[in-house]
Amino acid sequence: MSNTPLPYNFIVVEGNIGAGKTTLCRMLARDFGCRLILEQFADNPFLPHFYKNPERYAFPVELFFMTERHKQLQEELAQRDLFQETIVSDYFFFKTLLFARNNLKEEEYRLFQRLFNILNASFPRPGLLVYLHRSVDNLIGNIRKRGREYEQDISAGYLQQIQQAYFEFFKSNEALPVLIIDIEQIDFLNNHTHYQKLLDCMCKAYEPGVHRVRVF
């Protein structure tokens, strides 16, 4: 465990599908003693059907994700003192709206957004939102490598749409620090030097707004 604490009480690690969010969060929890919040995506019974028939299953898959994320975050954050310990999570509740905007029909999205706004009002903002950026080709390689059957039909076009949704959100965000880290050329899991460089980026103080860095 590191003797140097992370300079934020609540860190969210975000990124596209296959970016390495959960891997990095587990490493931070291991090395800094952080409390860990991981998304339970595998429990969504609609997810395998959605990737095969998105038009039919988009609304139930997104509604399930939203209610489960809300339940988990409400339980986790209610029992933790944000001023006494560092919490690291592999998702930001706002991602619920980003994916829904990309996947739902207009009338479905309007209803979904009303529900989201009610649920989102109670959550604290993270001190730092880290976005791990990889190219679509790199993401597809990671998806193939980890071998989740229901993910194998994800298209490059879909990943590009999700990436664009994140960037559109970042453009409009002025309330919290967003650190976009280009990790295309690094392997922070297996290369300690790469991991340390990544930590160096995360341990700096950032003002609200978007900040972009390349590790190498």
| pLDDT value at residue 121 | 87
What whole-number percentage of the chain has pLDDT above 90? 72
Residues ≥6 apart with Cβ < 8 Å to 196:
none
Asked if 54 and 103 count as a contact pair (C-beta separation under 8 A), the reply is: yes
Q: Per-residue pLDDT for 4 more than 60?
A: yes
| pLDDT value at residue 85 | 79
How many CB atoms are located within 10 Å of the residue 65 CB? 22
Q: Per-residue pLDDT for 207 more than 90?
A: yes
Q: Per-residue pLDDT for 84 more than 70?
A: no
**Per-residue pLDDT tens over the stretch 53-68:** 999 999 999 999 999 9
Q: Per-residue pLDDT for 80 more than 70?
A: no
Query: What mean pLDDT, rounded, does the chain reach?
Result: 91
Task: Report the pLDDT averaged over residues 159-187.
Answer: 93
How many CB atoms are located within 10 Å of the residue 75 CB? 11
Q: How confident is the model at residue 101 (pLDDT cuts 50, 70, 90)?
A: very high
Strands 128-133 and 87-89: unpaired
What whole-number percentage of the chain has pLDDT above 70? 95
Domains of the chain with bracketed CATH: 23-214 (3.40.50.300)
| pLDDT value at residue 124 | 86
Asked if 65 and 98 count as a contact pair (C-beta separation under 8 A), the reply is: no
